[in-house]
Chains A and B, each alone.
Chain A
Amino acid sequence: MQFSKFLIASVTALSLSLTLNPAHAGDSFVSIEQYGADNEFGGSQHGHRHRLTIYQNGYGNSSINSQEGAYNRGVVGQDGYDNFVDSYQRGRHNIVGIAQFGAGHTAITTQDGHGNAIGVIQAGHGNSANVTQVGRGNVSVIVQD
């Protein structure tokens, strides 16, 4: 139990740190896993070729992240129900992938730039995906099953 509390506290602190102090370097990699209910993640990366991987298992979880620059990759996986993702990327040749399994999930993704790609997979019922891409040569793939 102590370890789990420590883990939760660490993740929370890391999430807060990411929110307040966005990374400006390149080629950074952040991976976060959260289990349980009502977890929240907020992260921001500035620069090129960043990697962000979020996995949340449970319900009522939310992930809000942004990446500004080029050639960034953001991946969010959520398992459970009533989870929420809001992903924003600004720049060119960025990719975001969102996979949500369960019901009542919401995915909101926005990309501003050229040659960007969005992939959203939602398995279950009552899921919602909202994709906005500004620029040219953008690609979005939405799979709801």
Chain B
Amino acid sequence: MKKYYLIISYIFLLVISTSLAFLPVDRFEITDAFSLNFKSADPSGSFNKMEGTIDFNEQSLETSKFNFSIAISSIKTGNGMRDKKAQTEEWFDAKKYPNIKFVSKTVEKEDDLYKITGELSIKGTTKVYVVKAKKSGSGNTISFAGSINVNRMDFKIGKKSDVVPDIMKVSFNLPAEKK
């Protein structure tokens, strides 16, 4: 009897570990229909170029991962001069740091929202941010939407000023298609 227990536990562990090792990850790619806007008293605008992937498995959130890269060069504030200024060393220093990056560390479900904790890297500084997003869609097309407040002073973007507020509200809608 003991021998059977041994063989059963061996087979059980082998099946579990092999299934996990070959567990397919549902990978989605952000489509061009995304929107990424920032809003403050002044300025407001958007980023028009980003790429990224979402590894998302509702049944296994611990294996889910969000990974984005946003091109600084694609900033649009409705003022060409200001867009150019945003690229300079004082602001985003786009020459040295051409992209804003976000890589998630954990994904948890909180009521009907997903709480995504990850590292946001801007201008060579990385901070942990928690983003709450609402998921819509299913199957091959999903979408995550939400907003976060980003303190530009955390990343040394520009100088403290009475004209440009420190906090920028960033809202996003990220439609993604299965790869």
A-B complex is real: no
